[in-house]
A and B are shown apart, each in its own frame.
Chain A
Amino acid sequence: MPLLLLWLGYEEREAAGTSLAAIVVIGALAAGAHALYGNIDVLKGVLIGLPAVGGALAGVALQQRMPARAIAGIFSALLAVTAVLLVV
């Protein structure tokens, strides 16, 4: 998402939407690889995935009502927090 935004000149919402399409492919490829090793518990994945689909629809709806700069700001905060968590 930051790459689309900062390097490829996407608008915030476009970057988020297009990033999700890429994640579908990446996620499916990775899931296929893990499935070969038998690491996936489909039931637990769906259990947590179903409420998440509701959350995603709510998140997209909320995003349409937010200023683009707020989206960039929240993403910035998320990156900063995870960067700190990674090294400390």
Chain B
Amino acid sequence: MDPAALTAALVAGFVAGMASGLLGIGGGILFVPALVFFLSQSQLEAEATSLVAVVMVAVAGTARQRRHGNLRLGEGLFMGLLSPLGVLVGAIAANTLPERALAVMFAGVQLYFAYRLGRRALGPKPEARAS
């Protein structure tokens, strides 16, 4: 394996893990391109292989967040177990709708959440927020 590519993969892995811990995401958004570009995997192989790294960081991040008192374990596991339903709905949608329509719809949902989170970021401090 090319040492430069290996180094780049390790750095990308660290950055992806950092994003995961900071934001509570899986990190696949960075693992997948890193596996494609630096470890010469196909898109499909990378999507599958990234899951190994996703599970590793999620276990580490969950354990650490638990120590900080930021974990509702039961609710998290419950949501995880509901995910196959989401996969089913997604798979049906992906096979019925044109790819472009799916991309535009998904981007629209992301922009909506970006807007809402942005307002939260710029809004009153949490202690002043009516909950």
CB–CB B62/A20 < 8 A: yes
Chain B residues, CB < 8 A from A23: 24-26, 54-55, 58, 80
CB–CB B35/A54 < 8 A: no
CB–CB A71/B80 < 8 A: no
Chain B residues, CB < 8 A from A24: 55, 58-59, 62, 76, 80
CB–CB B17/A56 < 8 A: yes
Across the interface, A46 reaches (CB within 8 A) one of B52, B79, B110, B117, namely: B52
B94 at the interface (CB under 8 A from A): no
Chain B residues, CB < 8 A from A61: 21, 64
**27 sample A-B contacts, Cβ–Cβ < 8 Å, listed by A number:** A1-B24, A12-B126, A16-B23, A16-B24, A17-B71, A20-B62, A20-B76, A21-B71, A21-B73, A22-B79, A22-B83, A24-B58, A25-B76, A25-B79, A44-B41, A48-B10, A51-B13, A52-B27, A52-B31, A55-B13, A56-B64, A57-B60, A59-B22, A62-B18, A72-B118, A76-B113, A83-B110
3 pairs of A and B residues whose beta carbons are closest in the complex: A59-B21, A25-B80, A55-B17
Chain B residues engaging chain A, CB cutoff 8 angstroms: 6, 9-27, 29, 31, 34-35, 39, 41, 44-45, 47-62, 64-66, 68, 70-73, 75-77, 79-81, 83-84, 87, 103-104, 106-108, 110-111, 113-118, 120-123, 125-126, 131
Chain A residues engaging chain B, CB cutoff 8 angstroms: 1-2, 5-6, 9-31, 34-35, 37, 39-42, 44-64, 66-80, 82-84, 86-87
